[in-house]
């Protein structure tokens, strides 16, 4: 029997007997590595420790320190959960259970809903099974044999999955008496699942189709060790405390109503004021950068959406209506009206670039299952702009948008990451246009000096895009800004300009948003600041509080002076104890409480108290106005 040569990550070679596995390789390197090995990578592909090696393979051993370890742990823990569920509730059918960004889930078909007590029982059973160190054993069966096996087990969902596969064989994993259909790889044994927690329950339609049966999804998370798990769970608790839906109710910012319809936010006075502050800021910043403010209609003829490609590529997300027997589409985007504005005049190269900005309200049909407070709604406002420029101006315009995003995110205190999303499978436009657009975005990214990633196949249907994801205080990523480069729609709508030689040329269109959905951005802001907005953003900046009724006349004059100066101010002159009124103002996260007692009346002042309890020296109303105005201006 001849030997085989294996190449290790450092370039060194190792000789092993034919038939050796990844586990054998780890053992040949050292006992410590053999003990720590979780899986391997053969020529870049993750495999189990039992995978056989071939001559000239490049092999890497995966341990708990490897980047791939976390997904491996979470995937195996999802199988452990499914095993525990079927041990406790044998009538339950299993479907799929992948690892996801922050953990894992498994979808189950069971008539009786799981309860929080059931989750505790499942988790206890998982620990019991993990302690048994049950090996996970890979087995390859023919497609027909696998269908037969899962049919006999009554696992109809697995049968359906296998029947849809265009393969001759499939792989299964056995752990004790539990069998699951899976490509793998997996941990060697259940004992490697050492730090996990089941976190929540949700409903999920089979294959994501509302026409199919509703399943029960159990979410969980897993980490390499308990310390990492505890840190994550602490962040989850903090996220719950900061949940914008909870704070939105407590701060009286917005609400949702079943009577109105799912996915449609109702903005209360303070929430509407917060929106107004942000939108006014946006208008000011766009005007500074040479944008023209425009407004388009809410509905446009369906023929326009057909010409643009939205009807063929996006209509499942759109709403339609009839007016005078004419079909109209409710706009999910603002680009069509902006192109109509461009077409309203003959354009010269001297007119370009043109930058049309609109705080445009759009409607998109989102499935009920993905709606989530302000983060995912059916009606929202975008800070949308379309830049029409010559191909020679494109690089500078893209860089200008990146700079705009950087300036705005620094004002709000956010770091951000960028990725280039390339042509999706479902798209319009020529290969040449896509290559030119992608190259323009890539060049701007490279020149920016910022790190970026490539997100293959996730561009818009009409062009590639730069997606910008901000990081909040809990290190979560939120998609907000985007920059899309489009050669296709100007072609479809016959947009032209006259160049220096008098010849008609085609402009390029850049679609871009800075904050993105105003609704989503406000949701992110609420959670990032935990409702404690900086003074310039706070819908209420100060509240005037009286100690007794005798101070009301002076307090009224202070209130009126602040309001006339543009300070967003409330008053609380109720016949309640001062401590009670201070506590209520703190719960509403108002930055400043202005106390008015007998001393303040005598001196013609107020005593400011910050929401964290810090007291400031007494000031006149005029001096406080100057103080709070300067503080607000420091932030933007």
The pLDDT value recorded for residue 1 is 54
Mean pLDDT by 10-residue block, N- to C-terminus, for the chain (636 residues)?
Answer: 86 92 94 95 95 94 95 97 96 94 94 93 97 96 96 95 95 95 95 95 87 93 96 92 96 96 96 97 96 97 95 93 96 96 96 97 90 95 96 93 94 93 86 88 90 88 90 90 91 96 96 96 96 96 96 97 97 95 96 96 95 91 95 77
The pLDDT value recorded for residue 461 is 82
Q: Is 79 known to be catalytic?
A: no
Considering 23, 74, 275, 511, which one is annotated as catalytic?
A: 511
Q: Is 511 known to be catalytic?
A: yes
Structural tokens at position 133? 């160190």
- Measured distance CA(146)–CA(169) in Å, rounded: 8
Q: Is 193 known to be catalytic?
A: no
475 SS3 class? coil
- Exposed, middle or buried: residue 400 (CB in 10 Å: 0-12, 13-18, 19+)? buried
Q: Are 607 and 600 in contact (CB under 8 A)?
A: yes
- Measured distance CA(500)–CA(32) in Å, rounded: 72
Domains of the chain: 3-62 (3.10.20.30), 69-241 (3.30.980.10), 268-296+332-529 (3.30.930.10), 542-633 (3.40.50.800)
DSSP 203-239: EEEGGG-TTSPEEEEEEEEEESSHHHHHHHHHHHHHH
Find the helix or strand (DSSP H, E) in which 61 lies: strand 59-62
The pLDDT value recorded for residue 635 is 62
Which ranges of 17-142 does DSSP label H, i.e. alpha helix? 22-29, 31-36, 69-88, 116-131
Considering 175, 382, 484, 570, which one is annotated as catalytic?
A: 382
Q: Is 335 known to be catalytic?
A: yes
- Measured distance CA(612)–CA(108) in Å, rounded: 47
Q: Is 284 known to be catalytic?
A: no
pTM of the predicted structure, to 2 decimals? 0.82
> Strand 379-389 vs strand 415-421: parallel, antiparallel, or unpaired?
unpaired
- Measured distance CA(129)–CA(123) in Å, rounded: 10
Considering 465, 528, 568, 609, which one is annotated as catalytic?
A: 465
Considering 57, 79, 158, 335, which one is annotated as catalytic?
A: 335
The pLDDT value recorded for residue 432 is 86
The pLDDT value recorded for residue 370 is 86
73 SS3 class? helix
Q: Is 382 known to be catalytic?
A: yes
- Give the residue among 625, 592, 626 at the shortest CA–CA distance from 608: 592
Considering 217, 242, 310, 386, which one is annotated as catalytic?
A: 386
Considering 48, 57, 118, 384, which one is annotated as catalytic?
A: 384
**CB-based burial, 79-108: b 16+ in 10 Å, e otherwise:** bbbbbbbbbeeeebbbbbbebeeebbbbbb
- Measured distance CA(618)–CA(138) in Å, rounded: 75
240: DSSP letter: H
283: DSSP letter: H
Count of Cβ atoms closer than 10 Å to residue 633 Cβ? 10
**CB-based burial, 427-440: b 16+ in 10 Å, e otherwise:** bbbeeebbebbbeb
Cα-based angle 528, 534, 538 (whole degrees, multiple of 5): 100
Length of the chain (residues): 636
CA count, 13 A, side-chain hemisphere, 122: 29
Q: What is the dihedral of CA 148, 152, 157, 159, to 10 degrees?
A: 10
- Measured distance CA(488)–CA(339) in Å, rounded: 12
Q: Is 158 known to be catalytic?
A: no
Considering 364, 568, 581, 611, which one is annotated as catalytic?
A: 364
- Measured distance CA(279)–CA(283) in Å, rounded: 6
- Give the residue among 92, 95, 157 at the shortest CA–CA distance from 121: 92
- Give the residue among 72, 111, 67, 75 at the shortest CA–CA distance from 91: 111
């Amino acid at each position: 029997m001849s030997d085989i040569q294996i190449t290790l990550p450092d370039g060194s070679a190792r000789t092993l007997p034919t038939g050796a596995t990844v586990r054998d390789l780890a053992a040949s390197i050292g006992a410590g590595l053999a003990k720590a090995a979780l899986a391997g990578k053969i020529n870049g592909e993750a495999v189990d420790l039992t995978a056989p090696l071939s001559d000239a393979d490049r092999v890497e051993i995966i341990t708990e320190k490897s980047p791939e370890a976390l997904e491996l742990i979470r995937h195996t823990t999802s199988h452990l959960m499914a095993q525990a569920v079927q041990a406790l509730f044998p009538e339950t059918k299993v479907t799929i259970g992948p690892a996801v960004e922050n953990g894992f889930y498994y979808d189950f078909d069971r008539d009786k809903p799981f309860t929080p007590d059931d989750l505790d029982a499942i988790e206890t059973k998982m620990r019991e099974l993990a302690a048994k160190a049950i090996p996970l054993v890979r087995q390859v069966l023919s497609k027909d044999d696998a269908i037969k096996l899962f049919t006999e087990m009554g696992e109809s969902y697995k049968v359906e999955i296998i029947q849809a596969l265009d393969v001759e064989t499939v792989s299964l994993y056995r752990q004790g008496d539990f069998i699951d259909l899976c490509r793998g790889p997996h941990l060697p044994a259940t004992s490697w699942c050492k730090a996990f927690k089941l976190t929540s329950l949700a409903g999920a339609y089979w294959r994501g189709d509302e026409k199919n049966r509703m399943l029960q999804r159990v979410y969980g998370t897993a980490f390499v060790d308990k310390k990492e798990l505890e840190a994550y769970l602490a962040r989850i608790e903090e996220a719950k405390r900061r949940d914008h839906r909870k704070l939105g109710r407590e701060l009286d910012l917005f609400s949702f109503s079943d009577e109105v319809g799912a996915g449609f936010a109702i903005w209360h006075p303070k929430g509407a004021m917060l929106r107004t502050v942000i939108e006014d800021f946006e208008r000011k910043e766009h005007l500074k950068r040479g944008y023209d403010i425009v407004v388009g209609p809410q509905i446009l003829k369906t023929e326009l959406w057909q010409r643009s490609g939205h009807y063929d590529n996006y209509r499942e997300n759109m709403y339609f209506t009839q007016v005078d027997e004419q079909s109209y589409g409710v706009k999910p985007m603002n680009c069509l009206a902006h192109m109509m504005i461009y077409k309203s005049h003959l354009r010269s190269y001297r007119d370009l670039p043109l930058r049309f900005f609109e705080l445009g309200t759009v409607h998109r049909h989102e499935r009920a299952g993905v709606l989530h407070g302000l983060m995912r709604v059916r009606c929202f406002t975008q800070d949308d702009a379309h830049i029409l420029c010559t191909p020679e101006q494109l690089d500078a315009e893209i860089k200008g948008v990146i700079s705009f995003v950087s300036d705005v995110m620094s004002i709000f205190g956010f770091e951000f990451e960028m990725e280039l999303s390339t042509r999706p499978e479902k798209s319009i436009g020529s290969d040449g246009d896509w290559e030119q657009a992608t190259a323009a975005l890539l060049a701007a990214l490279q020149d920016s000096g910022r790190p970026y990633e490539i997100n293959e196949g996730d561009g818009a249907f009409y062009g590639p895009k730069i997606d910008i994801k901000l990081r909040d205080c809990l290190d979560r990523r939120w998609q907000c800004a985007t920059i899309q480069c489009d050669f296709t729609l100007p072609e479809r709508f016959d947009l032209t300009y006259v160049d220096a030689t008098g010849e008609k040329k085609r402009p390029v269109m850049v679609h871009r948003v800075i904050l993105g959905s105003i609704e989503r951005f406000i949701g992110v802001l609420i959670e990032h600041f935990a409702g404690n907005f900086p003074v310039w953003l706070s819908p209420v900046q100060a509240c005037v509080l009286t100690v007794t009724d005798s101070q009301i006349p002076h307090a009224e004059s202070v209130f009126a002076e602040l309001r006339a100066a543009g300070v967003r101010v409330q008053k609380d002159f109720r016949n309640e104890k001062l401590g009670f009124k201070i506590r209520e103002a703190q719960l509403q996260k108002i930055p400043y409480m202005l106390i008015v007692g007998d001393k303040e009346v005598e001196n013609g002042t107020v005593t400011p108290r910050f929401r964290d309890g810090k007291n400031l020296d007494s000031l006149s109303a005029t001096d406080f106005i100057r103080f709070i105005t300067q503080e607000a201006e420091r932030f933007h």
